[in-house]
Amino acid sequence: MSLTTTPIEQIPTVVAGARAAVAQGRTTPLAWRVDTLRRLRALLVAHEDALLDALAADFAKPRPEAWLSELGFTLSDIDHTLAHVALWAAPEKVATPLTFKPGRSEIHHEPLGVVCVIAPWNYPVQLLLVPMVAAIAAGNAVVAKPSELAPATSDALAALITALGDPAVALVQGGVAETTALLTERFDHILYTGNGRVARVVMRAAADHLTPVTLELGGKSPAIVTASANIDVAARRIAWGKFLNCGQTCIAPDYVLVERSVHDQLVTAIGNQITEFYGPDPQASADYARIVNDVHFQRLEKLLHAGTVAVGGQTDPDSRYIAPTVVTGVTRADPVMQEEIFGPILPVIAVDSVDEALGVVNADDKPLALYVFTEDDAEAERVLAGATSGGACVNGTLMHISNPNLPFGGVGESGMGAYHGKFGFDTFTHHRSVMTRTTKLDPPMTYPPYTAKKERMIRRGLTLPDPRDLWARVRSARHRR
Q: What pLDDT does residue 469 have?
A: 59
What is the domain-level CATH number for residue 279?
Answer: 3.40.309.10
264 & 346 share domain: yes
pLDDT tens-digit map of 370-383: 999 999 999 999 99
117 & 249 share domain: no
**365: which DSSP letter?**
P
Q: What pLDDT does residue 472 have?
A: 57
Range of the domain at 360: 222-409
92 & 230 share domain: no
Spell out where 82-237 has E strands: 92-94, 103-111, 114-118, 141-145, 169-171, 189-193, 213-216, 222-225
d(C-alpha 434, C-alpha 466), whole Å = 19
- 258: helix, strand or coil: strand
271 & 319 share domain: yes
pLDDT higher than 80, residue 158:
yes
38 & 164 share domain: yes
Q: What pLDDT does residue 167 have?
A: 97
Which of 137-146, 308-317, 462-471 shows the lowest mean pLDDT across its residues? Answer: 462-471
Q: Is residue 329 part of a domain?
A: yes
Calculate mean pLDDT across residues 198-227. 97
14 & 144 share domain: yes
Q: Is residue 59 part of a domain?
A: yes
| pLDDT band at residue 439 using 50, 70 and 90 as cut-offs | confident
Catalytic residue among 148, 178, 185, 250: 250
159 & 250 share domain: no
Do 213 and 189 contact (CB within 8 A), yes or no?
A: yes
269 & 390 share domain: yes
pLDDT higher than 70, residue 475:
no
d(C-alpha 245, C-alpha 248), whole Å = 5
160 & 12 share domain: yes
CA-based nearest residue to 145, from 98, 188, 107, 177: 177
Q: Is residue 444 part of a domain?
A: no
Domain-terminating residue out of 409, 442, 458: 409
Tally the domains of the chain. Answer: 2
Domain-terminating residue out of 409, 440, 456: 409
Catalytic residue among 178, 185, 216, 379: 216
Q: Is residue 437 part of a domain?
A: no
Which of 110-119, 186-195, 332-341, 445-454 shows the lowest mean pLDDT across its residues? Answer: 445-454
Q: Is residue 435 part of a domain?
A: no
Q: Report the C-alpha dihedral over residues 278, 281, 284, 286, rounded to 10 degrees.
A: 0
Q: Is residue 441 part of a domain?
A: no
Q: Is 250 a catalytic residue?
A: yes
Q: Is residue 185 part of a domain?
A: yes
Percent of the chain's residues with pLDDT above 90? 88
242 & 193 share domain: no
What is the domain-level CATH number for residue 19?
Answer: 3.40.605.10
176 & 69 share domain: yes
**9: which DSSP letter?**
G
90 & 196 share domain: yes
The Cβ of residue 232 has, within 10 Å, a number of other Cβ atoms equal to: 13
Q: Is residue 476 part of a domain?
A: no
